[in-house]
Chains A and B, each alone.
Chain A
């Protein structure tokens, strides 16, 4: 646990000094929150109550998108960055275990993704209240809350697993970023369902999606753990 904490702190310290990561973790959520609030304000301006609820629902989807996007930048630069700086071998020469290394890299991306997503959601609600005067609570249903708080950690985990697998085979951060973005599309299925059938967002659907995501996460993490072995890293990674 001590080594895991040391690795996590190093990862975050390094990420904070990387402009690309800071953009992905800080600016992108702020931008999406701003867009969302602007859309809701537009909906209010139309004067039709359904319009503002539709806008609110659409905005909520961003908070299922963010947990998949935020960890991309962190995980890509965390792994491809190590390769680029040739720091993997000195790191592997320490007593850190393969599992600690894997968990350190994974959690360094998942934790900020989930925390930033929830903070952004809080900021979105507060900004909506300030701009529109009230949060449309009738649209903020239990399935939505379950999605944002229950599914987002799973989405982040899935995204990180895919990114770690892709990054292990890539030597260029941009290429890894692009491939990972494509590979996480299956994780966005809930978003696609919600956007096409907003009225059908119910708890059963959320639970079903959660179950599918858990299976996907187990598969992806199993594969990623197999790739995150010293021997593999030193002899197979590009």
Chain B
């Protein structure tokens, strides 16, 4: 659905996006993560045919950027960083305006459907300026969805929402994924990205890493098993002599063991530790948070080291 090759955007001497290569498949939820000023919004603007790249090429929803920009805009929905609503117009008039611009079949019915979906129907005639931040965000999301876009660009969709409204948005993203919509999600909420995204891209002017969040962690940190010991068992990490063990670290009463295939190797590891006299309390896998991965990559640290 989205394919970019060497996509670049310069603003004078400053490079905002540098040679982006990316493939996002139909029905995929792709998380685009990076710090403020990393070039995420510029990337979205290019992919939504709002600004032109200064280098490289891209195909969005089957249309080449620069050749069929209006068609691209017809097929994508964009939720911008700020809700951007006409404050003096009612919620209904805000949506009707956009529904008619696209155009949407039976705009009144479609607007009603989305206002009800986001529980705004009862306040449809109130000006958007009187809405709370969460309600404005919901209205903006409804606007981005009105024309049933094939690709949805969401820039911080849950920013400023209360937990309940944020859950509504996350549930909606899940629903859209099940309907084969492609979602390009920019977020600073790493937990949200971890839960929602099929793949994530860590980006700062250029793509630093891309992949499945779990696979990316494994690739960066390897897989590690934590063995919790009931007694200190001093020196046991030095006597652990199994060939598949890559590295053993001790942390108080825990052993952190790097393995290639914990699913297959954990039973033998536990057996050997017991033979060596260790009292194993329980065993679990060490999960590195996406936040750690993000910070390591952004700060240019070698995670495996």
A interface residues (Cβ-Cβ under 8 A, vs B): 2-3, 6-7, 10, 13-14, 17-18, 85-97, 230-231, 234-235
List, in ascending order, chain B residues with CB within 8 A of A6's CB.
97, 100-101
5 nearest A-B pairs in the assembled complex, by CB-CB distance: A17-B88, A93-B78, A86-B84, A86-B82, A6-B100
For chain B, the bracket of interface size reads 20 to 34
List, in ascending order, chain A residues with CB within 8 A of B89's CB.
10, 13-14, 17
List, in ascending order, chain B residues with CB within 8 A of A88's CB.
84
List, in ascending order, chain B residues with CB within 8 A of A7's CB.
101
Contact between B84 and A85, CB atoms less than 8 A apart = yes
B interface residues (Cβ-Cβ under 8 A, vs A): 11, 45, 48, 50-52, 70-71, 73-74, 76-78, 80, 82-89, 93, 97-98, 100-103, 127, 140, 143-144
Contact between A13 and B52, CB atoms less than 8 A apart = no
Contact between A10 and B73, CB atoms less than 8 A apart = no
Contact between B140 and A235, CB atoms less than 8 A apart = no
CB distance from A173 to the nearest CB of B (A): 13
A231 to B103, CA, bound (A): 23
CB distance from B160 to the nearest CB of A (A): 14
The contact sample of 11 A-B pairs, CB cut-off 8 A, is A2-B100, A10-B86, A17-B88, A17-B89, A86-B82, A90-B84, A90-B144, A93-B77, A94-B98, A97-B70, A234-B51
CB distance from B173 to the nearest CB of A (A): 19
A236 to B88, CA, bound (A): 26
List, in ascending order, chain B residues with CB within 8 A of A230's CB.
50-51
Contact between A89 and B78, CB atoms less than 8 A apart = yes
List, in ascending order, chain A residues with CB within 8 A of B52's CB.
231
List, in ascending order, chain A residues with CB within 8 A of B71's CB.
95
Contact between B50 and A93, CB atoms less than 8 A apart = yes
A91 to B85, CA, bound (A): 10
Contact between B102 and A87, CB atoms less than 8 A apart = no
A85 nearest CB neighbor, chain B only: B87
Residue picked from A85, A231, A234, most chain B C-beta under 10 Å: A85
Contact between B51 and A90, CB atoms less than 8 A apart = no
CB distance from B141 to the nearest CB of A (A): 11
B98 nearest CB neighbor, chain A only: A94
Contact between A2 and B103, CB atoms less than 8 A apart = yes
Of A3, A85, A96, A235, which contacts B85 at CB under 8 A? A85
Of A13, A86, A94, A235, which contacts B73 at CB under 8 A? A94
Contact between B88 and A93, CB atoms less than 8 A apart = no
Contact between B102 and A94, CB atoms less than 8 A apart = yes
Contact between A14 and B85, CB atoms less than 8 A apart = no
